[in-house]
Structure 1
Amino acid sequence: MMENRRVLSIIFDLDNTLIDTAGAGRVAIQKVCEVLKSTSVPESHITDICELFLQKLFHGTFDPSEGRTINEVRIHQWYEALQEVLGTDPDLAMASSCYYTWKNTRLQALTLSPEIRSLLEELKKNYKLLLLTNGDAQTQRDKIEATRCEGLFSAVVVGGEHPEQKPALSIFSHCFESLGVQPHDCIMVGDSLSTDIQGGINAGVKATVWINSDGKSLPPGSVTPDYTLPSVLNLTDVLAQLT
């Protein structure tokens, strides 16, 4: 029967699934705070500036068709954060310094742990692995390069390089075609209920695996994953049940 076919492929999310992007972000913000302490910015305003940038980062949108690069957009977000908190027009060079300090520190802090690298190397022997990550193309490619993980996957799909991102069916269909598999041959592993788990369910994968490192409860009305794990390192337990 179709449902008894074994898993052939595992589709992995990147951020906060395989790498601790949130943790690296905290390190990067702390570094920016240290840099700002050596400037004319009042120390009492520094935390507010960084928090306002993070709000703009998480709630802003980026459209490459508008003609601006992601670097230009992020520098402008730092500029706005400085401007809104200080009440004056800041030096553009200060906004640029904040951005590149944040960007470079975050990339340096991103690592694929030896344990997760070893897990992927083992899984690669028996499954086709695919990395499916949402986000701006340059930003995500920089992370992939920084963590030296591309060689662990049969294919890497970056949402920003496609017309639609997770949870859209089109990008999952592209993944299945790239691997030469059917949806029910695959499982989707990720930390986001709204993109990874919802997308996997919409696409008809064999199972969805939610990486819930914070031990959060499922929000009311949320999509329900087939499996919930505290870490991707526990994935072999799920695979043993599925194959």
Structure 2
Amino acid sequence: MLKAIFLDMDETLCATSLADKHAVGQLKLYVADLYPQLDADLFLERYVAGVYKKLNDELPELVPLLNDELYFRQNLIIVLFKEQGIDLPFDSAVAIQACFDQSRMSGFDFFPGMKDALVALRKAYKLVVITNGPVFSQHPKLATTEMQQYVDHIIVGGEEPEEKPALSIFEKALGLVGCKPHEAIHMGDSLAADIAGANNAGIKSIWVDTQKEADHQQLVYIKPDFIVANPVELTEIVASLA
């Protein structure tokens, strides 16, 4: 019998990509106004890549800073400005990062219908959010959405010894709600982190398909139990399992 529902946050409960687009747009206006000599589009392209750790091999000098995500991003900004021949003071990098963060949080919210779905599901099941990511980025999202009002427990990967897909983080979730693997289901948008992790833990999995080609290539060897296009479809799946 199903007793608990585990949930990813970004692109599962909340429209992170929309918030990112809003923040990038606001940041472009900000840097273009203050630094007309800057190629703002190039800066933003590389900044987003750096934030998602896609420049680690190219910029190894920043890797040791990853234990402090905020400091890492501020220094990333300085390095990216330097690439365009602009010496940026640290306090200016702080202001640029603050612009991005504030703009991102102003546009961060649940997908339509998701809050109502959580309220309804919580009447019959224990709900646990399991989100990867550093405290710096995840705690403001949790606070902005008042996530603690909608779920029973929240696990932030950046505070744990291991993140998804590690077995330990799913075992912690099971322990928090006093469930066995077959009594839980996990929904997330990452095949590698959410679905593979849940499958390896013996937990049924629901994959939120965000229509990324790279994800569909992984379907050959990572098999979710259910696939949804809209996370709110979770309620229908749970009803079918009841």
Give me the TM-score of the superposition, normalised by structure 2. 0.90
1:20 aligned to 2:20?
no
Q: Secondary structure of the equivalent of 2:227?
A: strand
Q: Which residue of 2 aligns with 1:235?
A: 234
- How many residues align? The count is 234
Change (3 A) 1:177 1:91: same
CA distance in structure 1 between the partners assigned to 2:80 and 2:12 by the alignment: 29
Alignment match, 1:54: 48
Q: What does the per-residue CA deviation read over 1:85-109, in whole Å, with 9 as the maximum and x for residues that have no partner?
A: x123223233222211001110111
1:203 counterpart residue number: 201
Q: Pick which of 68-77 and 117-126 moved more.
A: 68-77
Mapped to 2, the partners of 1:222 and 1:22 lie a distance apart of 26
1:114–1:230 distance in 2 versus 1, CA, 3 Å: closer
TM-score by length of structure 1 reads 0.89
Let me know the Cα RMSD of the aligned residues.
2.2
Aligned to 1:134: 132
Q: Deviations over 1:124-152 (max 9, x none)?
A: 00111000000102321111001111121
Q: Which amino acid in 2 is paired with 1:72?
A: Y
1:48-197 map, 5 Å: 48-59=42-53, 69-84=68-83, 86-113=84-111, 115-197=113-195
TM-fit CA distance, 1:79: 1.3
Inter-partner Cα distance in structure 2 for 1:11 and 1:123: 12
3-state SS of the aligned residue for 1:189?
strand
Task: Provide closer, same or farther for how the CA distance between residues 66 and 29 of structure 1 changes in structure 2, counting only shifts above 3 A.
Answer: closer
Contact 1:112–1:149 (CA<8 Å) still a contact in 2?
no
- Structure 2: segments with no counterpart, 5+ residues: 57-61
One-letter code aligned to 1:174 = K
Gaps (5+ residues) in structure 1?
1-5
| Partner-residue secondary structure (3-state), 1:131 | strand
Q: Does the CA contact (< 8 Å) of 2:70 and 2:136 recur in 1?
A: no
Contact 1:215 1:230 in 2 (8 A): no
- Contact in 1 for aligned 2:15/2:111 (Cα 8 Å): no
